[in-house]
Amino acid sequence: MSSFWERFATVILLTVVTGILLLALGATITFALYTAALLLMVIHYRRQLAILDKWLKGEKSSLPESSGQWGDVFARLARLVREQKHSHLQITSALERLRRATSAMPEGVVIMDEVDRIEWCNPVAEKHLGINCSLDTGQHITHLVRQTQFAQYLAARNYSEPLVIKQSRQKELTLSLQLVPYGDKQKLLLSRDVTRLEMIQTMRRDFIANVSHELRTPLTVIGGFLETLSDADESHPDPKTRKWALTLMTDQTKRMQRLVEDLLTLSRLEDTENLVREETVDVPQMLRGLYDEAQSLSAGRHLVILSLDTDAKLLGSADELRSAFSNLISNAIRYTPEGGMITLSWIIRNGQGVFSVQDSGIGIEPEHIPRLTERFYRVDRGRSRESGGTGLGLAIVKHVLTCHQANLDIVSEQGKGSCFSARFPAARLITDKIIEPASQNMSESKSPVRLPDASV
């Protein structure tokens, strides 16, 4: 029945009842009865409102029991509350999943309002920007990221390209920051750690510059001498000048050839499809050959000692290992003054095969050691070029050892010498027996200088 007909029927019923009461009881008694009825209705309604208020405040957990229209009202309210709780749980669950997903992102995420105040951030953003989500919520972003570049980027409102900055609190950290507007004038600040990418870009620029310089010098020498010889009077050549020029051109050509060969070797080693040949490498026999080459390269200027404490062999590429060992030995000879001592050793230590080249040379400052295996990195550029090195030797050593799951340890002390050790895992060792420590000294007997072991 519609509400209109309900109200109409109620009015008719009250009219009929009122007429009967007036005829039967009189006006005074009828008015008193109606007054009492209205008072009871007010009390009932007040009581029901109090119950509803307690239930809405949460003071009553269960749905109030009532009949009639109040029962219908309570039932509808209970249904609405259940629906609202269900919607709230769904939204909370979705928000929590979104926060967990955002927290797991490798990039930092900061949510900002229309006036650039922090509303929320994930743990990565806290690490990148040095902020605390629980403490810094509501703070203006520029109060925490205090860099002029970032403030200008924020004010310019041109967010098509990211901003790359050095983090002031962590000097070694380089960040890429980008703002993404969304919603009702809100913004997302995305931060990404591009330290490694920037380092690679720097190495690439340095590599190109170094290769250009290394090739330009010998080409300039060769070109200059060729021009001089071409302009010389063929009928009156100067034999000494011609021989001197040809000798220098030959040396510079060999220098370029060594550089190109080392670059090709590095390229081959860095090729992900290049697999290490699994062959048995007789390390003691190889080191005997390298010892003879070291003696020739030293030309009697150094005391070279070969110490073989094991006859263990290695599983790997003989050519690559020979190249790595040869680079370590030739470096020791180049940077050890005349009269110094160089010790080559092959030993099993803590289950690992260790090839070491120890010298009594000039040593290396600690700040240079972590960068020694970078391409073209030189502690003393002038001295390195004079010694005939290409600047790629230790880079080749590093890649060869990496391909063989080995590590390079460097220990050095200025004025006392250096020790370069290649440590091979037990899985690559082929061992029959351990022989007694012995030293082969083709010149004279002398104990090598020992440096403390350490890893870099």
pLDDT at 274: 57
Q: Which two tokens stand for residue 445?
A: 């007997």
What tens digit of pLDDT does each residue of 50-70 get?
877 777 776 666 666 766 777
Residues 414, 284, single domain; the answer is: yes
Residues 243, 287, single domain; the answer is: no
User: Domain residues for 214?
Assistant: 200-270
Confidence of residue 448 (pLDDT cuts 50, 70, 90): very low
Residues 133, 40, single domain; the answer is: no
Question: Quick check: 312 and 383 in contact, CB under 8 A?
Answer: no
Among 7-16, 106-115, 301-310, 387-396, the range scoring the smallest mean pLDDT is 387-396
19 lies in some domain = yes
pLDDT at 126: 87
Residues 286, 375, single domain; the answer is: yes
450 lies in some domain = no
CATH classification of the domain holding 244: 1.10.287.130
Residues 206, 186, single domain; the answer is: no
- The residue-averaged pLDDT of 167-181 equals 81
452 lies in some domain = no
Bridge partners (DSSP) of residue 303 are 341
Single out the residue in 193, 220, 246 at which a domain terminates: 193
Residues 394, 283, single domain; the answer is: yes
Residues 345, 382, single domain; the answer is: yes
Give the number of domains in the chain: 4
Residues 432, 297, single domain; the answer is: yes
Residues 397, 287, single domain; the answer is: yes
Question: Quick check: 103 and 123 in contact, CB under 8 A?
Answer: yes
What tens digit of pLDDT does each residue of 233-261 get?
555 556 777 777 777 778 777 777 766 77
Residues 328, 359, single domain; the answer is: yes
Q: How far apart are CA 391 and CA 407, in angstroms?
A: 20
49 lies in some domain = yes
Q: Which two tokens stand for residue 138?
A: 């509501």
Cα-based angle 232, 235, 236 (whole degrees, multiple of 5)? 65
CATH classification of the domain holding 169: 3.30.450.20
Kind of pairing between the strands at 341-349 and 303-308: parallel
Alpha-helix residue ranges (DSSP H) falling in 271-406: 283-298, 318-334, 381-386, 393-403
236 lies in some domain = yes
State the burial class of residue 152 (Cβ atoms within 10 Å of its Cβ: 0-12, 13-18, 19+). exposed
290 lies in some domain = yes
Residues 54, 130, single domain; the answer is: no
446 lies in some domain = no
Single out the residue in 31, 65, 99 at which a domain terminates: 99
CATH classification of the domain holding 322: 3.30.565.10
What tens digit of pLDDT does each residue of 368-391 get?
888 787 766 666 654 444 445 556
pLDDT at 323: 86
Return mean pLDDT, the chain. 78
Per-state percent for the chain, helix, strand, coil, to nearest 5: 55, 20, 30
Residues 382, 285, single domain; the answer is: yes
168 lies in some domain = yes
